[in-house]
A = this chain, B = another copy of it.
Amino acid sequence: MATEQDWFLEKFEPAGTAFGLRLGEKLHSERSDFQHIDIYQTDTFGRLMVIDGAVMLTDRDNFLYHEMLTHPALCLHPRPTRVLIIGGGDCGTLREVLRHDIVEQVTQVEIDERVTRLAEHYFPELCERNDDPRATLLFDDGIAHVQNAADSSLDLIIIDSTDPVGPAEGLFNRAFYQQCVRALAPDGMLVQQTESPLLHLDLIRQVHGSLKAEGFAETALLHFPQPVYPSGWWSATLAAKRGPLPEPVAARVAAMEADSRYFNAGTLAGALAQPGFVARALAVD
């Protein structure tokens, strides 16, 4: 019988919910320049990375998040050759982006180099494409990076951040989106993790409103399961400078299906289907 000490428990205070995983040994713990990072072996979810007490990812279920944050946008954009990832220090998003042959260059701008160094050590499968010649890993401030990007120099910006408090707060506001619009080419798209449709619908509505106010013609909400995040039901917001949202490129979807565990044509369509309570909330703006 497990004792209290054998569990990792995260309380999501604003949501009033908690999530836990039964633990094996603690593998690593450190305070980086930016945050506290812990790595555990869990009993049933493989390895677990925790930042400032919040679950970042586990071996067992990160495929859901990483596939659904990347492949929908990369299959919908007409020609996503130049990609920027903000955050994403575990490199799982980078790995999925690099599965697309059409991508010619992808830059990842993670503020905390230690997250990536620890991922290389403890989550090597997520980092298996880090040496791809198309990839550039920078350890810098993502907001400043976008401000310094040339006009129309990017096709897709992927914002793979922590929750919109603390370091990531500046990634969820109009000033940042304005710089994204400027740095994106006319066909450009942005995709951003936007928390739980059940718990954070006000945030999602606000993000969609801000994106449209800054010049994105179209936004869409993607739904997918993510068991280790609050409610187990997560979302990403897709925004396109040019509307209407194009149909997915079938050949690219098919190319991803065989080796994906979650993403395919059916789950992509399902992710874009809006439950009534979400559609009604987003229709207000």
Interface residues of chain A, those whose CB is within 8 Å of chain B, are: 2, 7, 9, 11, 13, 15-22, 42-45, 60-61, 197-198, 223, 225-227, 231-233, 257-258, 260-264, 266-267, 269-277
Contacts and interface: CB of A to CB of B under 8 A. Distances in A.
A267 B275 contact: yes
A61 B11 CA distance: 19
A17 B275 contact: no
- In the complex, the count of this chain's copies comes to 2
10 contacts: A2-B13, A9-B9, A16-B44, A17-B22, A197-B225, A261-B275, A261-B277, A262-B275, A269-B273, A270-B273
A175 to B, nearest CB: 31
A162 to B, nearest CB: 19
A15 B271 CA distance: 26
Contact of A225 (B16, B22, B198, B267): B198
Nearest to A14: B44
Contacts of A198: 60-61, 225, 227
Nearest to A280: B261
Contacts of A270: 223, 266-267, 269-271, 273
A269 B269 contact: yes
Contact of A18 (B9, B61, B223, B225): B9
A214 B19 CA distance: 39
A16 B21 contact: yes
Contact of A16 (B43, B262, B266, B274): B43
Contacts of A266: 270, 272-274
A50 to B, nearest CB: 15
A266 B276 CA distance: 10
Contacts of A231: 225, 227, 232
A17 B13 CA distance: 19
A1 B26 CA distance: 27
Most chain B CB neighbours (cut-off 10 Å) among A20, A223, A274: A20
Contacts of A11: 2, 7, 20, 22
